[in-house]
């Protein structure tokens, strides 16, 4: 019910933005956001990307965004509204917009679409995402070096491949330092509920974990770790404000360069449908400064980052052994291939837990 209403509100907001539109010859670029811009996490970073785009190409383009657009069928109307408002390039920034974006894309072949974190493409619909697991491998390494109890606490949102591959990459990074490292995993089954994220962090700390890692969006877990004098990693954004003595680093989504590149291509008439899955090498994300750790840990983290960036180190380098003790078939030769990482549905050996649904 609430989602339907939000969609209606979004529609109204859109009506406002249409009437405000002007300057006919500028390229119109539209964005669909999942949450409120001020969520400090996912949507916030897409907005930062849009702002970087405006700063770079502001005199040639005009941007519109719709925030709080719920995933699923309702988003189709919102996307279509952006098309009718004259937007020629539209970024839809959440996994759940995949099918609605595809549907609208088929209806309007002359408009270009870009969908974040999906896997369905069309001649006028690209996809883009980032290899966050690379950053999580580095975090795992830092965590193993910094943990006194040898137990890491991991707050998961939903057991989907992106999150599972993050847990596995963390574990592989940690095992490279300490083969006996343990990880406790709590799924909260929400992307955003600060209270619940805080409760999960408390539960993990109460059970003996001394480092908190999260794949949820709010800074609540960071704050709990900070209160208890423990360590944590941020997510999507810089969260050091919430844990000046707790944040070790944070994966920072940096969409700006990608948005600028794609809009430039559109302006030049060279835009074509493709799949961009960039990592540290292509600046799709960055690592926040390494803080609250001794110099040698910091140095090791920087070296790992450099090795991953140059391609020398791959977090999913074969052989990878699954929880069942069997080696995972290596389709990509030396490393797991993209499909195996994007569809990951198993835990690596050493994780003493059961993957939900397995």
Partner 1 sequence: MLLVEAIILSVLAASTPLLIAATGELVTERSGVLNLGVEGMMIMGAACGFAGAWLTGSTIIGALCGIVAGILMSLIFALMTLGLAVNQVATGLALTILGVGLSGLIGAGFVGERIAPAAHLDLPVLTNIPLVGRVVFGEDGLVYVSLALIIGVWWFLYRTRPGLILRACGDNHVSAHALGYPVLRIRTFAVMFGGACAGLAGAYLPLAYTPFFIPGMTAGRGWIALALVVFSSWRPGRLVVGAYLFGAVTILQLHAQGWGIGVPSQFMSALPYLATVIVLVLLSRARTGGSTAPAALGTVFVPDR
Compute the least distance from the CB of residue 145 to partner 1, in Å: 23
Cα gap 310→304, rounded to integer Å: 10
Asked if 223 interacts with partner 1 (CB under 8 A), we say yes
Helix axes 256-268, 42-57, angle to 10 degrees: 40
Number of chain positions touching partner 1 (CB under 8 A): 46
Asked if 354 interacts with partner 1 (CB under 8 A), we say yes
Asked if 324 interacts with partner 1 (CB under 8 A), we say no
Question: By C-beta, is 129 or 226 nearer to partner 1?
Answer: 226
Residues 175-214 contacting partner 1, CB under 8 A: 184-190, 192-196, 198-200, 202-204, 206-207, 209
Compute the least distance from the CB of residue 43 to partner 1, in Å: 10
Sequence-ordered alpha helix ranges (H) in the chain: 2-20, 42-57, 73-84, 98-107, 132-146, 161-177, 194-206, 220-227, 256-268, 295-310, 338-342
Compute the least distance from the CB of residue 207 to partner 1, in Å: 5
What are the residues whose beta carbons fall under 8 Å from the beta carbon of 190, sequence distance 6 or more?
Answer: 157, 196, 216
Asked if 241 interacts with partner 1 (CB under 8 A), we say yes
Give the residue, chosen from 140, 219, 256, 315, that forms a contact with partner 1 under the rule CB under 8 A: 219
Phi/psi zone of residue 182: left (φ > 0), alpha (ψ -120 to 50 degrees), beta?
beta
Asked if 339 interacts with partner 1 (CB under 8 A), we say no
Contact 134/146 with Cβ under 8 angstroms? no
Please count the other Cβ atoms lying within 10 Å of the Cβ belonging to residue 213. Answer: 29
Q: Candidates 97-105, 122-130, 139-147, 349-357: pick the segment binding partner 1 (CB under 8 A).
A: 349-357
Contact 128/119 with Cβ under 8 angstroms? no
Which residues face 182 on adjacent strands? 151
Asked if 310 interacts with partner 1 (CB under 8 A), we say no
Compute the least distance from the CB of residue 11 to partner 1, in Å: 13
DSSP state string for 62-88: EEEEE-S--SSHHHHHHHHHHHHTT-S
Question: By C-beta, is 271 or 347 nearer to partner 1?
Answer: 347
Question: Residue 252: which of 138, 335, 339 has the closest Cα?
Answer: 138
Compute the least distance from the CB of residue 79 to partner 1, in Å: 21
Q: How far is CA 254 from CA 77, 138, 225, 347, in A?
A: 28, 18, 25, 28
Binding pattern for the stretch 11-40 against partner 1, x by CB under 8 A and - elsewhere: ------------------------xx-xxx
Compute the least distance from the CB of residue 230 to partner 1, in Å: 14
Compute the least distance from the CB of residue 244 to partner 1, in Å: 10
Q: Candidates 141-149, 217-225, 292-300, 313-321: pick the segment binding partner 1 (CB under 8 A).
A: 217-225
Question: By C-beta, is 1 or 334 nearer to partner 1?
Answer: 1
Compute the least distance from the CB of residue 176 to partner 1, in Å: 23
Helix axes 73-84, 98-107, angle to 10 degrees: 40
Question: Residue 160: which of 181, 191, 138, 139 has the closest Cα?
Answer: 191
Residues 150-169 contacting partner 1, CB under 8 A: 153, 156, 159
> What is the binding site for partner 1 (CB under 8 A)?
1-2, 5-6, 9, 35-36, 38-40, 153, 156, 159, 184-190, 192-196, 198-200, 202-204, 206-207, 209, 218-220, 223, 227, 241-242, 352-354, 356-357
């Amino acid at each position: 019910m609430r989602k339907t209403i939000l969609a209606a509100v979004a529609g109204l907001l859109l009506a406002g933005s249409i009437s405000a539109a002007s300057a006919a010859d500028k390229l119109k670029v539209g964005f669909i956001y999942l949450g409120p811009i001020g969520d400090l996490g996912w949507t916030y970073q897409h907005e930062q990307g849009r702002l970087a785009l405006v700063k770079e190409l502001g005199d040639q383009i005009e941007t519109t965004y719709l925030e709080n657009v719920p995933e699923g069928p309702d988003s189709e109307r919102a996307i279509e509204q952006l098309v009718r408002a004259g937007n020629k390039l539209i970024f839809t920034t959440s996994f759940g917009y995949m099918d609605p974006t595809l549907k609208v894309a088929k209806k309007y072949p002359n408009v270009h679409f870009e969908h974040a974190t999906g896997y369905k493409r069309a001649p006028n619909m690209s996809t883009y995402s980032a290899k966050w697991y690379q950053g999580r491998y580095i975090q795992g390494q830092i965590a193993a070096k910094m943990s006194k109890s040898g137990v890491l606490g991991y707050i998961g949102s939903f057991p989907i491949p992106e999150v599972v591959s993050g847990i596995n990459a963390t574990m592989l990074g940690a095992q490279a330092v300490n083969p006996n490292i343990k990880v406790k995993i709590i799924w909260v089954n929400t992307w955003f509920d600060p209270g619940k994220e805080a409760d999960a962090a408390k539960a993990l700390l109460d059970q003996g974990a001394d480092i908190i890692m999260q794949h949820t969006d709010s800074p609540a877990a960071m704050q709990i770790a900070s209160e208890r004098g423990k360590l944590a990693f941020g997510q999507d954004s810089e969260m050091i404000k919430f844990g000046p003595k707790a944040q070790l680093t944070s994966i920072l989504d940096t969409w700006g360069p990608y948005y600028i590149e794609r809009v430039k291509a559109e302006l030049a008439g060279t835009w074509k449908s493709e799949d961009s899955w960039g990592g540290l090498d292509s600046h799709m994300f960055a690592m926040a400064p390494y803080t609250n750790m001794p110099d040698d840990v910091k140095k090791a983290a920087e070296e790992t980052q450099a090795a991953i960036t140059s391609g020398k180190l791959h977090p999913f380098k074969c052989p990878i052994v699954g929880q069942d003790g069997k080696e995972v078939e290596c389709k990509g030769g030396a490393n797991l291939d993209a499909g195996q990482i994007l569809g990951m549905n198993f835990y690596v050996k050493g994780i003493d837990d059961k993957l939900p649904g397995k």
